[in-house]
Amino acid sequence: MSAVSILDTPAPGAVGRTAYADLTATLIQTRQQLAPKRLFAPGPDARQIHAYFQAAAAAPDHGQILPWRFVVAPAASRAALGEVFAQALQERDASASDKELAEARDKAHRGPFVALAIVRDATDDHPEIPLQERLISLGCAIQNLLLSAHADGFGSGLVSGQAMQTPGLRRLFALAHNEQAVCFVAIGTADRRKPMRPRPDPALFVSELNCEADHA
């Protein structure tokens, strides 16, 4: 029997089920959201990071307009990012203590790999493709990236916060007028794994269109 290639298109149904089906299901079901404060070195190396972004590139992209991008925040940039977080806190709370400001700065140093996910809206770019489609594409790209990191044994998580739309963050990451910061992606070695959270039963979020009821 010849080996099954992942590049082969399987026949539909159980007969065409590839050797990767169960592995893929397990990979998806065992992925966990981990806070960046739970992620430590070692993180992914340059080869692995490149592979993760190749996986992101496989996301659905209506019109092939590539409406999103990522900006990696290396260690040398984290202090500047921390100042953005501290400034955002001061703008929200002028009475923030030195301890609170230090904690805000510290958040920028969590996770050996951090990247900002950015989406481009339809202000002056392919207006026929609305923002919600662009966000779906970015979400798929992020999930591909997270699953690839999980396959390598790393923990990962997404984080946003009130600093995402501040002028300071926009300047630091050189966002264009038609771009929005969506979330940070953090990857690293998990200090511990959490118990798996219960997954919602598909019956809670899947229904069937019943046209007969409308005409009864």
Quote the domain boundaries for residue 133.
33-73+108-191
Residue 47 is assigned to a structural domain of this protein: yes
Amino acid (1-letter code) at residue 75: A
Mean of pLDDT over the chain: 92
Residue 7 is assigned to a structural domain of this protein: no
Residue 182 is assigned to a structural domain of this protein: yes
Q: pLDDT by residue (tens digit) across 128-187?
A: 999 999 999 999 999 999 999 999 999 999 999 999 999 999 999 999 999 999 999 999
Q: What angle separates helix 98-106 from helix 78-92, to the nearest 10 degrees? A: 140
Find the length of the chain: 216
Give the residue-averaged pLDDT of 203-213: 92
pTM of the complete model beyond 0.85 = yes
What is the number of structural domains in the chain? 1
Residue 86 is assigned to a structural domain of this protein: no
pLDDT of residue 4: 47
Does residue 72 register a pLDDT over 80?
A: yes
Does residue 213 register a pLDDT over 70?
A: no
Q: pLDDT by residue (tens digit) across 88-116?
A: 999 999 999 999 999 999 999 999 999 99
Q: CA–CA separation, 116 vs 52, rounded Å?
A: 14
Q: What are 159's strand-pairing partners?
A: 184
- pLDDT bin (cut points 50, 70, 90) of residue 192 is confident
Residue 57 is assigned to a structural domain of this protein: yes
Residue 102 is assigned to a structural domain of this protein: no
Q: Which domain CATH number covers 147?
A: 3.40.109.10
Residue 97 is assigned to a structural domain of this protein: no
Q: Provide the token pair at 44.
A: 């992914």
pLDDT of residue 6: 54
pLDDT of residue 18: 73
Residue 20 is assigned to a structural domain of this protein: no
Give the residue-averaged pLDDT of 182-206: 94
